[in-house]
Amino acid sequence: MIDLSLIFSIVILLLTANGLPIIARNLLTEKLEYPIDFGIKLPDHHPIFGISKTWRGVIASILGTGALAYLIGFPKIVIAKFGFYAMLGDLFSSFFKRRMGLPESSKTRGLDVIPESLFPLIMLHNHLNINMLEIVIIVGIFVIVEITLSPVLYCLR
């Protein structure tokens, strides 16, 4: 049986994990704006991740998502790792976008949102008590919400 309340809670965690780096950027402006890849470029002359992937964003995501997961009542392992795995998925997509020569913050349907939602769900599925069907549903909802909200939030800055 599908637990809609659990699915809703996990989608909220995903939105939090992926939204907090943007909120942190707007609140802290240039403070703690250190790229994760330290500006290193690979032999393809593109950065590993790019300057928009900062320690500030990763830390904000991990701490903020962990706090929300704690308040919702998720197990300790979820509290500690959900934001980390979401950011790992985000870095994964940035790495591949740089290899494809795409500029920072370029939109690539699917590659922008699927890894950052799929990584934490796959890595923590036992602790979240979700099955493969629920993972597909959660990723689908997350993709739809991101596609719908992203242009609106971009216009609002």
10-residue stretch averages of pLDDT, the chain, 157 residues long: 93 94 86 88 92 92 96 94 96 91 75 91 96 97 89 66
Domain around 141: 4-156
Q: What is the pLDDT of residue 109?
A: 72
Answer for the pair 112, 93: CB distance below 8 angstroms, yes or no: yes
pLDDT of residue 157: 58
Quote the pLDDT of residue 68: 97
- The set of residues, in sequence order, having a beta carbon less than 8 Å from that of 54 and lying 6+ positions away, is 21, 25, 32, 33, 34, 35, 36
| pLDDT value at residue 150 | 75
DSSP designation for 103? P
Sequence letter at residue 131: N
- Cα 134 to Cα 114: distance, rounded to the nearest angstrom: 14
What is the predicted pLDDT for the residue at 153? 66
pLDDT value, residue 156: 58
pLDDT at residue 144, rounded to an integer: 93
Rg (CA), the chain: 15
Q: What pLDDT does 89 receive?
A: 95
pTM as predicted: 0.89
If one counts the domains in the chain, the total is 1
∠ Cα 150 12 20 (to 5°): 60
